[in-house]
Structures are given as structure tokens and as C-alpha cells.
Amino acid sequence: MENWQDKIYIAVAKKSPQIISLFWIIYLSIALVFTVGAFVVFTNSPLYQTIYEIGINSGRAALLLLGVVVLPGILGRFGIEIRITRIITLFRRQLGIVVFLLAFTHYHIVRAFLLYSQGKIFAPSNLLFETIGFYTLMLLFLMFLTSNNFSVKKLGRWWKRLHRIVYVILWLLVFHTGLQRISVWSVFIFIFAVLEVASLIYARFKSKQLKQTMINQ
């Protein structure tokens, strides 16, 4: 018998082509913020503080959304079934793209546009958290580039292996946020990083336990 979660999932799944189309509005909206941010920084606009805050919040939104994206995998490995989370899985690729675009916008508004305005394409930071943030963005960029059917087909089994770098990304973000200061955001991503590791260990343990049971039978 279908419960309310199944009904919602089925309704959303039927509308998935239209919902995926709506993601393009989100992509374009983030691109607009990115463009406005560039304009504000390069023109020394008095709106800089406002756009800077938007850049900070873009990073926070990316963290929040990344937690949402990895949640179904964590629950699945623990054997916890919350059917409505299948909606997240349905749009995981699109949500992952949004995570990258938000992180990309965050980096540029908070740091990169200032470098570009000074004629610097890239300048190493003396701050460890900024260096970690940059390399985290590069890993997200790698996932972004391969978030398409062509990459899935060409990479085969290596596609899943490549996208497991999200486990590394989570811990890099723990250090990126935690080295600045301990905040609700650093605690949030730390919880998801720990849950990710714990779920992997639990799934491996259950798999070995199942194999042993089959051998004993």
C-alpha cells in the first residue's frame, strides 16, 4: 500500500522533466549573482559589502545543499529507509551542479574577483583555510565536469570511483570552515563527514557479516 511519501515521490517523479528544466532557472540565477558580483568588485561599488555577504551565504548554501545530497547515501548504508529522500536521489546530479555553482560564486566574490582586479590570475594565500577551500573547489569542479551522461558512459566503473572524492571533500570542508572559527556551519559539515565515514564502516561490516553467514550455510 502506498503511503504519503510514496505518493509524493511518484508525483514528483512524473514531473521530473519539468522540474529538471526549472533547475536551469536556478543555474541562471546563480550566474546572475556571479556577474553582478564581478561588476560590483571591479567597479569598487558601494554595494561591495552587500555582495560580499551574498558571497558568504553562497558558500553556506553550498554546504547545506551538499549535506542534503549525501544524506540518501548515508541513510541507505545504515539501512534506514525514509522513502521521501528518494526525491533527493532523483535530482542528485542537478543538486550537485548547484553545489558547485554556489561554491564557485562564493570563491570568486569573496576572494578571486579581488585578485583579478589587481591583475592577478591566482595568488597563493597565506591562510590555510583559504588554500584548503581552493583545492576543495577544484575537486568539486572535477565532479561538476563529469556530472553528465557522456562521462558516465565513457568512464564506466571509474565514474563511481571518481565521485567518491565527495568523502574527501566533506573532510576538507570541515577544515575549511573549522580553521576559520567553530560555528554552526563547521559543526554541520563535521556531522555529515562523520556520518559518511560511519556509514561506510557499517556497510562494510554488514557486507562481511552477510558473506560469513552465507559461507556458514
Q: Which of 179, 180, 143, 178 is nearest to 69 (CA)?
A: 143
Task: Please give the model's pTM, rounded to 2 decimal places.
Answer: 0.92
User: What is the chain's pLDDT, residue by residue, as a tens digit (217 residues)?
Assistant: 567 888 888 888 888 999 999 999 999 999 999 999 999 999 989 999 999 999 999 999 999 999 999 999 999 999 888 888 888 999 999 999 999 999 999 999 999 999 998 888 777 788 999 999 999 999 999 999 998 888 888 888 888 888 899 999 999 999 999 999 999 999 999 999 999 999 999 999 888 887 777 666 6
